[in-house]
Amino acid sequence: MSLERGTEPPTRILLWRHGNTDSNAAQRVQGQLDVPLNDLGRAQAAAAAQVLAGREPQLLITSDLGRAAQTAAALAGLTGLSAERDVRLRERYFGAWQGLTTPEVKERFPESYARWRAADPDPGDGIEPLPDLGKRVSEAIRQAAERLPGGTIVLAAHGAAIKYGVAALLGWPEEMLPTVAPVQNCHWVDLIHQGSSGWRLSAYNVGV
Q: Strand pairing of 59-62 and 198-206?
A: unpaired
| Cross-strand bridge partners of residue 155 | 15, 61
Determine whether the annotation assigns residue 23 to a binding site.
yes
Phi-psi region at 16: left, alpha or beta (left = phi > 0; alpha = psi -120 to 50): beta
Determine whether the annotation assigns residue 187 to a binding site.
no
Task: Give φ, ψ of 181 to 5 degrees.
Answer: -65, 150
Active-site amino acid positions: 18, 91
Determine whether the annotation assigns residue 193 to a binding site.
no
Determine whether the annotation assigns residue 19 to a binding site.
yes
Determine whether the annotation assigns residue 38 to a binding site.
no
Q: What's the per-residue H, E or C state across 76-87?
A: HHHHCCCCEECH
Determine whether the annotation assigns residue 20 to a binding site.
yes
Q: Which helix (H) or strand (E) holds 205?
A: strand 198-206
Give, as one character, the DSSP assignment of residue 9.
P
Q: Are the C-beta atoms of residues 97 and 103 closer than 8 Å to each other?
A: no
13 HSE (CA, 13 A, CB side):
32
Give binding residues for substrate as ranges.
17-24, 67
Give binding residues as ranges.
17-24, 67
